[in-house]
Amino acid sequence: MVPGPESIATARSWVASAEQHDTDFPLQNLPFGVFRATARAPRPGIAIGDRILDLAAVAEQGLLSDQAAALVHECTLDGALNPLLAAGRDAIGHLRRQAALLLAADSSESRAARDRGEALLVKMADAELLLPARIADYTDFYASIHHATNVGSMFRPDNPLLPNYRWVPIGYHGRASSLVPSGAAVRRPLGQSKDDAAPAPTFGPTRRLDYELEVGAFICGGNPLGTPIALDDAESHIAGLCLVNDWSARDIQSWEYQPLGPFLAKNFATSVSPWVVTLDALEPFRVQAYKRPAGDPQPLAYLHGVRNETRGGFAITLEVLITSSRMRAAGIPPMQVSVGSFESMYWTLAQLVTHHTSNGCNLQPGDLIASGTVSGATPESRGCLLERTWRGTEPLRLPNGESRSFLEDGDEVILRAWCERAGAKRIGFGECRGLVAPA
Ligand code: MN
């Protein structure tokens, strides 16, 4: 028996920590990830409270359907979720619903799981959380019009938003090899930069290291080369969402970006959070797409659809926090730098997928598509330091008196996200962390 949406909304778990009101991972979330505990090989799991449901152990105990157990076995051999992502959204939903029944407080299926209890669960604090998938290709978009306008007005004061912006989702192909899991240190990159007044560029450590707060989408299913994905079908190719920090060296970027766009200013590291929050879990938090102001053009037909317009957005609250090494030494908690919402994005995730494939480009299971910096209309909701400190002209004051225009060595950036509304259980994304190491 598969529970209906009503019973899922209020269902409880026998895992005590999943019932705490502020947990990111109640029974209603059940995001997928890959973890390593003690000396064992990486294996697939599902976050529940402060525990991980060890899917390989669940399969070994005979608690999954044959189809789900076979997929879990493949993912375990692979040390990545790619086989599950390749199987598509229905298979992912099928496995997730089985996990929900095993973890629910009052389902008949849960008795066997509960009896085995701790044998199926791993303490998240004791596990190393890895990248969820082998990511073959990574694309970064630029879907916040607020971000595009702010950055444009700094780099091109007379022409902030380029004329194509409202017509075509802007993106670039990122580099998959330098995607790193949350918690991995990020080394300050070396590169070329040139001060406006200087006659020639210099080479050395970036002096304008920045983060970018982004939402990532893991592709499932995929499309054959030459076969575009229609807008109404786009979300069936998204397994779920995560947090992405697109670390950026602004001085390198402003010197190198013309005419072909971001390159070495971006591809030295990109941090990815460990849990893939499924679109099924995000269903209660759907909202209409960003309402285009009067005077903006409607999207072209291939990017235009009623379902996308009325339900293509997601009300995800996103937050950035910073700690410096001196703050940590003094026991001062991280400082919130910004808080905003994914509702402010000009283009929906479905539009990004459809546009990406509109020329026939093939997306593959495990590919990562990032939204671009999530910035809102207000200064408090700007998702990178370039905007938050307005190119360093309005430095942030940290609680211990330090100031920040851009990131210093020893700074740690923490991205968080969650969804909440009346009548639904709050769910969260966990964290995406990265600590700046010296050049
Ligand atoms: Mn970016």
Of 350, 251, 240, which Cα lies nearest the Cα of 299? 350
Residue 202: which H helix or E strand, with range? Answer: strand 202-205
Of 427, 412, 186, which Cα lies nearest the Cα of 320? 412
Please tell me the distance between residue 259's alpha carbon and the centre of ligand 1 in angstroms.
17
d(CA 24, CA 267): 30
Over residues 35-63, the pLDDT tens digits come to 999 878 999 999 999 999 999 999 999 99
Please tell me the distance between residue 74's alpha carbon and the centre of ligand 1 in angstroms.
32
147 in catalytic set: yes
Q: Residue 10's pLDDT band (boundaries 50, 70, 90)?
A: confident
Mean pLDDT of 177-187: 98
Contact 237, 221 (CB under 8 A): yes
Please tell me the distance between residue 262's alpha carbon and the centre of ligand 1 in angstroms.
9
Paired residues of 248 in beta bridges: 210
d(CA 307, CA 110): 36
Residue 120: DSSP 8-state? T
pLDDT of 6 higher than 60: no
State CA 352 to chain mean position distance.
15
Contact 291, 308 (CB under 8 A): no
d(CA 241, CA 272): 10
What pLDDT score does 117 carry?
Answer: 82
Over residues 389-418, the pLDDT tens digits come to 999 999 999 999 999 999 999 999 999 999
Q: Report the DSSP pairing between strands 127-129 and 335-341.
A: unpaired
Please tell me the distance between residue 359's alpha carbon and the centre of ligand 1 in angstroms.
22
Please tell me the distance between residue 149's alpha carbon and the centre of ligand 1 in angstroms.
14
Of 131, 137, 133, 127, which Cα lies nearest the Cα of 74? 133
Positive or negative: CA dihedral 261, 263, 264, 267 = positive
d(CA 412, CA 334): 9
What pLDDT score does 2 carry?
Answer: 47
d(CA 50, CA 48): 6
d(CA 118, CA 16): 12
Over residues 102-132, the pLDDT tens digits come to 999 988 888 888 888 888 999 999 999 999 9
Q: Strand, coil or helix: what is 6? A: helix
Please tell me the distance between residue 373's alpha carbon and the centre of ligand 1 in angstroms.
5
d(CA 8, CA 5): 5
d(CA 150, CA 187): 27
21, 73, 146, 147: the active-site residue: 147
Please tell me the distance between residue 188's alpha carbon and the centre of ligand 1 in angstroms.
17
Q: Report the DSSP pairing between strands 32-37 and 43-48.
A: antiparallel
State the pTM of this model. Answer: 0.97
* Residues 98, 112, 28: CA angle, nearest 5 degrees: 35
Over residues 237-288, the pLDDT tens digits come to 999 999 999 999 999 999 999 899 999 999 999 999 999 999 999 999 999 9
